[in-house]
Structure 1
Amino acid sequence: MLRLSRARLRLLAGAAVLIAPGVAAAAPANGSPAAANAPAVNAAATTADPAAASDPKDPTADQQAQAESGLNDVVVTATRRETNLQKTPIAINVLGAETIRERHVQSLLDLADGAVPSLRVATFEARQTALTVGIRGIVPLDANQPAREQGVGIYIDGVYLGRQHGLNAALFDVDRIEVLKGPQGTLFGRNTEGGALSIVTKAPSGKFDLRATAGVANYGGYNADLHIDLPEVNNISLKFDGVVQYQDPTTKNPLAGQKGWNYFDRRGGRVAVRWAPRDDFKADYAFDFGYDANSPFYSQLLNYNPNGCVAGAASASAGCVLPGTSPTSFTGTVKPLPGIVQVNGDDRMKTADIGVPQNPSIDKTHGTSLHLTYNPADWIELRSITAYRTVSSTQWDNSGGAHRVPVYAPNGLFSRYSLADLYQHQFSQEFQAVGSLPQIDYAAGLYYFTETANDDAATPSSNQWNANGTAYTIVDPLRGSNGFGSQPGFRSIDRASRAKSKSYAAYGQLTFTPDGFDALHLTAGGRYTHDDKSGTLFIVNNAPSRCPVAQNPAPLCTFSEKNDRFDPMATVAFDASADVHLYAKYASGYRAGGASSRSISYRSFGPETVNSYEVGAKTEFLDHRVRLNLAGYIMDRKNSQVDFSNVAPLGNGTTRNTLETINAPGTTRIRGVEADLTVNPVQGLTLTGSYAYTYTRIPPVLNPFTNVQQNVFIVYTPRNAASGSIDYSLPVAGASLRFHLDGNYAQATQTFDQYATKNDSSFIVNGRVALADIDLNDGRMLTISLWARNLFNEAHVYRRDPSNSLGALTTSGASSINNILGDYGNFNAPRTFGVEGSIRM
């Protein structure tokens, strides 16, 4: 028998209290049960897109339908079949094509503003080359190494993307983005302990359709996309997509000929082919490629020696103690800043104080997939998904200048140029059987995934001070950093590794609706996974790795890990009425273990696991004009993977970032409540509001560098987050005038596992005004729009690193303050705005 803790009972009881008013308000006056023909799968979710099911070719008909029936139904595929969002017992948010357009979402990074409060998206470090994606407090800090895994599964048309790199590529003609919250281990597999983000693109229709958009924006920005659907010929339908997105830097680089920061140049194309020779069979083939040239966000020095560190007793400068250390004294001196170095923690800098070499980082993605669907009988559909994908990433990050170590020294080298390459290729094969029998819906499948990923990194210095800090020079890119440089072939390699992974899985899920009691739906499922991972660390500090580290010579550092895992799931769903759907769910999930290529010993760590308990309600009332969805959950995570980082100058012109990942002891507690409201009070007006409360606590752990116990934190997880939007549409001279405004709030939160220091709270407003569906005759429809992101130019530090303002790592009684500068961090993007024109025929 399951025994719940008092905290768990309190949270579930609180969620029930929240759900009860919605049930009471939504229940019909006569208390009648759900209709006898209610689908077998139903329960809780929400949509951030009130027009997700609308047909953009017929806005008038859509408005009339909405006036008559209220909010539109939204179809999702979270259970491997198409179901009504409101009747699916999973907490889901859906961003439909219209919402994506209204918010001017061009890539996943644009969701960092908080459109879905429990979904958090951030750059890794300051770099756009890799994204950190988290849901419900499952947010890995550094998952961009070959042997590390994500905590949220990212999928494109059912194909899992194994790496964080390449996730910021331009989006192709997206039909919707489904955000599935909580463990999705049964149907979506490993590395979905926090949830899954499923991107669904528009498939070929077999009917001619041409859509084109072009626009210009501030910061030299422009964008264009073209989508062509061709008529079906000999049972073959073709669709072509192309996209271009460009923005000049928002922080200028004083060094002539070099890129500034927060620049991007994205391009991509996609070809989709559908062959449907019979009613019971179809084959969908797709090929896509993406090119993303970009530069990181600028890293500013936010303050100078903010803790007032001085040499002497540590008790006199307690704020200078690095977490995980216990020094008795501080030694050394805090170096003065050269006069040309700017300290600015109030607003983003428009021009950097120091000019540095800055090449664009380049991400390239390629993918091909084949989806086969066969219906041999009414009760079963057989599917096959075969996919191969590659990603390459060349990182050039010189965003810190004089704002990071190395600190000033006469004629000293400075400006850490973080260079890294990653190359990955993956293959996956999945077979699915989905269908229905009397009183039973089922889904089952087999899955295979394999990948190989290589990385290498170097961190030379690119600049050199003069004798008194009044000027600087750019060093030779081949040999200027103590005999090494930034160009390939001349680098001092900090690390180089290769990791391989294979995963096999079998899964199944069955929903039973008792005969004569159609309001009750019982679901049980499970997934068995076998993981086989291995890796080799070839180079550490420009020499072959050695394990044991103290032995010389010694074998190269390697790791090998095999895991067998079974993740069960059980759901009880109940239709309290035709418009009220309740559910209670238990699910488990896990994230595979691995090894840190930033560790000099290639230290390995085990998988982390999570058990989730959730209750929810999905309700509609007032004649389908109000939709209120609520969820409360408790997640207990074991063996949480925690990152500890130490950046230190090596004295040869490079600065090494050593990162150790360990499994935390005990149970990490994650608790939360989510609420989503959509209201259609009058024709043409839609209001939405979403809120997420997330409590997290990891037990104290031993710092792997010092063996001293310290507190650690879950990153990018605000305790409180909310979003809301207003959409209004009215007919104007045969066209449609549309207004959109959304606001997104997030409370301050930690951005590093090992530091209590938080970033800033944020409130971002986006807007759009469009004159849509202007009839140009001959079936051509024109839309003209004005858009703005971060409308009020709000500035907040989204990533704050205090390591430069604290004493050095030490295992003895003395800690050096010689390398103290201050906190450095990154501001969010400034206001961007533009005009677009779209035509459809």
Structure 2
Amino acid sequence: MTMAGTAMFSIAPAMAQSSSIGEEQASGVQEIIVTAQRRVERIQDVPISISAYSQSFLEDRDVSNLNDLSGLAPNVKIYATGYNTNTQISIRGAVQTSTQPFYDPAVGLYLDGVYIGKSAGAVFDVADLERIEVLNGPQGTLYGRNTLAGAVNLVTQKPTGELGGSAEVGIGNYGRRFARASINLPALGPLSLKFSGAIEKRNGTVDVHANPFPNVVNARTRSTDELNSLNNKAFRLAARLNASDDLTFDYAFDYNNTKSMMQYGKLIHLNKDGIFDPASPAYVGGLSGGIYKGLPLDLYFEGPGRSLDATIDGGPSGSKPFDNLKIQSHSLTGTLELGGASLKSITAYRKVNGDNSIDLDGSPLLVAATDYFGKYRSFSQEFQVSGKTGNLTYTGGLYYFWDKGRDVGYQQYFNGATSVTNNFAYQTNAYAAYGQIEFIPPIFSNKLTLTAGLRYSRETKEGARSSYLDGRGYTIPVGTRGKATFDAFTPVFIAKYNFNEDANIYAKYSRGFKSGGFNLVAPTPAEITTPFNEELVDEYEVGSKLRLLGGKLQFSLAAFLADRKDMQLSVFLPVAGGTTQSVIRNAGKVRAKGLEANVQAVPLKWLRLSGSMGYLDAKFKEYIELGVNVANDRPVPAAPKFTSSVSADVTLWDRGTTGRLIVDYRHSDSSYQYPYSLSVDPRLGQNANIGKPSATDLVNARLNISDIKVGNGSAELSLWVDNLFDEKYLMSAINFGPSFGGLAIGYYGAPRTYGINLKYKM
């Protein structure tokens, strides 16, 4: 549910400066407590780029996942991928644009300190969020692997040991209906339990009609209103055992089951004189036995411009495009307090099973479609120690991560003229040791704090693939496999000066690391078994945090400069059978610089305001292609120049019941999806302007009426609308390039949605 709409899990990585949103008081903006540096501290005291969204902020906007906060933070972008269970998060122009499960993301996602290893399956509901912390910039020391762009911490509510709970139901347009509930049970001696669950269903936001050209082409289309529909279930069990005054165990079991229809990938481009043009020498021989022979290009398109109506074919199995995912995860955290030190153990296991069927051409013809089945498992173990002695604060730890996956993809092209079955297997073993100290030297009246940290990471990656092309046998033989090891030292140095409790400045240097891997979808065995390089970033940041006017105004400002080496980017290459595949290429050097500002204010007892602005200038300094540096002709993907947001929380009345109007405005400039040429003729090469995501200006609004006394509890009624002005915008696209006729499909944002929720708390 965005501010009150869809319910999946994803979060717009928040501001590149510290901000504490939510938990406001009439007298001012109240800060919240965070654990971004693996210990408890005020957000204003954390000398890094961080935003925290509190429980009240999340509840006011009906947030249950990452996507629900998209657009609130500067220099942060979240892209839809066609799947309702995957997402791409970009912070400061660093992103992994492929969601293939054997590639690693650039932003680390954590649930109660447990690393979620893949962007595939990263969109999931969390029933009981306490807060969300977003750390911008490299977090290579305390967090480590795959956090060279930043990290997102999801922190859940823990059992209280006292009887209490809540229940909520809601309805909306497109047939949306949902229910969720949570209950804290009274403590059973040292044991406290909490149960939470949620169910959401919604019809599709796209109407799919029957084949509009029955006299021209025999297309496999199905009439349905289910495209982009949702059917989600989430359950969580949380248990806390206070074994002694100093020893605590927290266990959690999370279950998510999503059965949805794919988002609509609309056909947005085809080349003239390409394989789909019957007037071209390159025309694919009648597109399978003459079934589509001579079909004019305009009949591939559903209609001019963007429409919420679609005419599509099914997947290879003839099914409607769907996206199913089941997630089960267990975590156990033990904490032992030893006077001035704390020992912690975090153990976790995660299991993900998924399958989907995708129409990849956005037309009523079976040009390109795929069925996909996958299994993923991960295990992690971390030991942490933290404490304080005198003017020295320290944090250290050991970390181990293992994951393994197997996937099968069945692809069909040109009405079955070409069919390919791919089998993938991949595995990671990762080890790390880290330490960080914070020292207050006895100078400058103890106002100066110096921080230094270092992490050593070592990862071994394995990948294997076989590929069977119907009628031609194995084009990638069984046994095609690669293995490689990557390692790196990632330091951090910070100097912070406190003018007083409410004002400070800081300077920071940090390094981020993302290990290399294997292009398991590359066109040849040699390319599959040759690893791509690790990606490194060195980033410099200065910032200031101010709290003024007795806490009624809070302001944060950050400026940064980042140098990235061997940036891992996804591009499409031609493969056997006349098709294309997305592979990873190291793109040379990128320099990104920018500014980020955030302000929160409580100018009046009944008015709370917050706003943010981000400026990002990301450019390639080196991009070698065929021995030539083409950096000036290549855009950095997922790097909008300007982002901004404004939120107003107005108390309309506060007499018996409380009425509040919350309005959010979120802007993002347009950005590029791929690092393709800006100038090439689309008939000759991939042009970055085809499928370029749109600029967006979105407004969400919500009216909350709370404190309605009902028995021993209280009720809250909420009326909400997302995308108030029904803006139509392109979120992301897939550009297959000239080898596939210049075919490109685009994924559009959700239309205006609205509804009503009723909640009861006891």
TM-score past 0.5 threshold = yes
Q: Deviations over 1:407-447 (max 9, x none)?
A: xxxxxx62422222221101100011111111111111111
- The equivalent of 1:29 in structure 2 is none
Report how many aligned residue pairs link the two structures.
Answer: 702
Are residues 85 and 428 of structure 1, via their aligned partners in 2, closer, same or farther at CA, if it must alter by over 3 Å?
same
In the TM superposition, 1:456-605 aligns within 5 A as 456-461=408-413, 481-482=416-417, 492-515=419-442, 517-541=445-469, 556-600=479-523, 601=525, 602=528, 603-605=530-532
Alignment partners' CA distance in 1, 2:155 and 2:259: 24
Are residues 153 and 687 of structure 1, via their aligned partners in 2, closer, same or farther at CA, if it must alter by over 3 Å?
same
Residue 143 of structure 1: how far off its partner (Å) = 4.0
Is the Cα contact below 8 Å between 1:700 and 1:712 reproduced in 2?
Answer: no
- The equivalent of 1:689 in structure 2 is 611
Q: Confirm or deny that 1:346 pairs with 2:283.
A: no
- The equivalent of 1:375 in structure 2 is 337
- The equivalent of 1:150 in structure 2 is 105
Which of 739, 742, 752 matches 1:831? Answer: 752
Residue 188 of structure 1: how far off its partner (Å) = 0.6
Alignment partners' CA distance in 2, 1:170 and 1:555: 38
Alignment partners' CA distance in 2, 1:777 and 1:256: 50
- The equivalent of 1:281 in structure 2 is 247
Residue 345 of structure 1: how far off its partner (Å) = 5.5
Q: Which segment is superposed worse, 730-739 or 688-697? A: 730-739
Are residues 339 and 699 of structure 1, via their aligned partners in 2, closer, same or farther at CA, if it must alter by over 3 Å?
closer
Is the Cα contact below 8 Å between 1:297 and 1:399 reproduced in 2?
Answer: no
Matched to 1:361, the amino acid is D
Residue 728 of structure 1: how far off its partner (Å) = 1.3
Q: Deviations over 1:105-153 (max 9, x none)?
A: 34323334x12232221123x222321112111111114232x111110
Which of 46, 52, 68 matches 1:88? Answer: 46
Alignment partners' CA distance in 2, 1:354 and 1:535: 32
Alignment partners' CA distance in 2, 1:156 and 1:544: 44
Which of 653, 663, 669 matches 2:591? Answer: 669
Is the Cα contact below 8 Å between 1:258 and 1:359 reproduced in 2?
Answer: no
Q: Deviations over 1:240-283 (max 9, x none)?
A: 01011221111122355756321111101010110003221110
Is the Cα contact below 8 Å between 1:768 and 1:785 reproduced in 2?
Answer: yes
Residue 75 of structure 1: how far off its partner (Å) = 1.0
Alignment partners' CA distance in 2, 1:121 and 1:142: 13
Matched to 1:632, the amino acid is A
Alignment partners' CA distance in 1, 2:704 and 2:30: 21
User: What stretches of structure 1 of length at least 5 have no aligned partner?
Assistant: 1-42, 55-65, 312-319, 321-329, 404-412, 465-480, 485-491, 810-818
Q: Deviations over 1:667-705 (max 9, x none)?
A: 21111111001011011311111111111112453458x
Give the match's secondary structure for 2:551.
Answer: coil
- The equivalent of 1:409 in structure 2 is none
Residue 606 of structure 1: how far off its partner (Å) = 1.2
- The equivalent of 1:268 in structure 2 is 234
Q: Which segment is superposed worse, 213-222 or 746-755? A: 746-755
Residue 161 of structure 1: how far off its partner (Å) = 0.7
Alignment partners' CA distance in 1, 2:473 and 2:517: 20
Matched to 1:133, the amino acid is I
Are residues 750 and 344 of structure 1, via their aligned partners in 2, closer, same or farther at CA, if it must alter by over 3 Å?
farther
Give the match's secondary structure for 1:605.
Answer: coil
Is the Cα contact below 8 Å between 1:744 and 1:765 reproduced in 2?
Answer: yes
Q: Confirm or deny that 1:756 pairs with 2:688.
A: yes
Is the Cα contact below 8 Å between 2:22 and 2:55 reproduced in 1?
Answer: no
Give the match's secondary structure for 1:150.
Answer: coil
The percentage of aligned residue pairs carrying the same residue is: 29
Alignment partners' CA distance in 2, 1:145 and 1:836: 36
Alignment partners' CA distance in 2, 1:393 and 1:74: 37
Q: Confirm or deny that 1:607 pairs with 2:540.
A: no
Give the match's secondary structure for 2:636.
Answer: coil
Alignment partners' CA distance in 2, 1:563 and 1:437: 36
Give the match's secondary structure for 1:144.
Answer: coil
Are residues 245 and 118 of structure 1, via their aligned partners in 2, closer, same or farther at CA, if it must alter by over 3 Å?
farther
- The equivalent of 2:21 in structure 1 is 49
Alignment partners' CA distance in 2, 1:270 and 1:588: 36
Are residues 242 and 342 of structure 1, via their aligned partners in 2, closer, same or farther at CA, if it must alter by over 3 Å?
same
Residue 502 of structure 1: how far off its partner (Å) = 0.7
Are residues 540 and 610 of structure 1, via their aligned partners in 2, closer, same or farther at CA, if it must alter by over 3 Å?
farther
Which of 247, 251, 258 matches 1:292? Answer: 258
Is the Cα contact below 8 Å between 1:401 and 1:414 reproduced in 2?
Answer: no
Alignment partners' CA distance in 2, 1:208 and 1:169: 27
Give the match's secondary structure for 1:302.
Answer: strand
Give the match's secondary structure for 2:307.
Answer: coil
Are residues 89 and 659 of structure 1, via their aligned partners in 2, closer, same or farther at CA, if it must alter by over 3 Å?
same
Residue 386 of structure 1: how far off its partner (Å) = 0.5
Alignment partners' CA distance in 1, 2:21 and 2:179: 23
- The equivalent of 1:442 in structure 2 is 394
Which of 350, 359, 370 matches 1:389? Answer: 350
Alignment partners' CA distance in 2, 1:633 and 1:79: 20
Q: Confirm or deny that 1:185 pairs with 2:156.
A: no
Matched to 1:115, the amino acid is L
Is the Cα contact below 8 Å between 1:236 and 1:275 reproduced in 2?
Answer: yes
Give the match's secondary structure for 2:124.
Answer: coil
User: What stretches of structure 2 of length at least 5 have no aligned partner?
Assistant: 1-14, 210-220, 285-293, 677-686
Residue 727 of structure 1: how far off its partner (Å) = 0.5
Alignment partners' CA distance in 2, 1:587 and 1:521: 16
Residue 336 of structure 1: how far off its partner (Å) = 5.2
Matched to 2:329, the amino acid is G
Which of 73, 77, 94 matches 1:120? Answer: 77
- The equivalent of 2:683 in structure 1 is none
Alignment partners' CA distance in 1, 2:607 and 2:641: 31
Alignment partners' CA distance in 2, 1:359 and 1:664: 33
Alignment partners' CA distance in 2, 1:786 and 1:708: 54
- The equivalent of 1:161 in structure 2 is 116
Q: Deviations over 1:526-545 (max 9, x none)?
A: 11111111121133536886
- The equivalent of 1:176 in structure 2 is 131
Matched to 1:825, the amino acid is G
TM-score of the two chains, using structure 2 as the length reference? 0.87
In the TM superposition, 1:605-644 aligns within 5 A as 605-644=532-571
* Rg larger in structure: 1
Give the match's secondary structure for 1:86.
Answer: helix
Which of 733, 739, 745 matches 1:808? Answer: 739
Q: Confirm or deny that 1:234 pairs with 2:157.
A: no
Alignment partners' CA distance in 1, 2:282 and 2:382: 60
- The equivalent of 2:90 in structure 1 is 134
Are residues 826 and 628 of structure 1, via their aligned partners in 2, closer, same or farther at CA, if it must alter by over 3 Å?
same
Are residues 256 and 173 of structure 1, via their aligned partners in 2, closer, same or farther at CA, if it must alter by over 3 Å?
same
Higher relative contact order, structure no. (Cα contacts within 8 Å, ≥ 6 residues apart): 1
Q: Deviations over 1:731-766 (max 9, x none)?
A: 443121111000111111101232421221111111
Q: Deviations over 1:168-206 (max 9, x none)?
A: 122221111111001101111110000001111111111
Q: Which segment is superposed worse, 769-778 or 707-716? A: 707-716
Q: Confirm or deny that 1:728 pairs with 2:684.
A: no
Question: What root-mean-square deviation, in Å, do the aligned CA atoms of Structure 1 and Structure 2 show?
Answer: 2.7
Are residues 562 and 276 of structure 1, via their aligned partners in 2, closer, same or farther at CA, if it must alter by over 3 Å?
same
Alignment partners' CA distance in 1, 2:342 and 2:385: 6
Alignment partners' CA distance in 2, 1:555 and 1:250: 42
Is the Cα contact below 8 Å between 1:664 and 1:699 reproduced in 2?
Answer: no
Which of 730, 733, 743 matches 1:797? Answer: 730
Give the match's secondary structure for 2:296.
Answer: coil
Alignment partners' CA distance in 2, 1:286 and 1:310: 57
Is the Cα contact below 8 Å between 2:148 and 2:537 reproduced in 1?
Answer: yes
Matched to 1:129, the amino acid is T
- The equivalent of 1:199 in structure 2 is 154
Give the match's secondary structure for 2:728.
Answer: coil
Are residues 231 and 544 of structure 1, via their aligned partners in 2, closer, same or farther at CA, if it must alter by over 3 Å?
farther
Residue 524 of structure 1: how far off its partner (Å) = 0.5
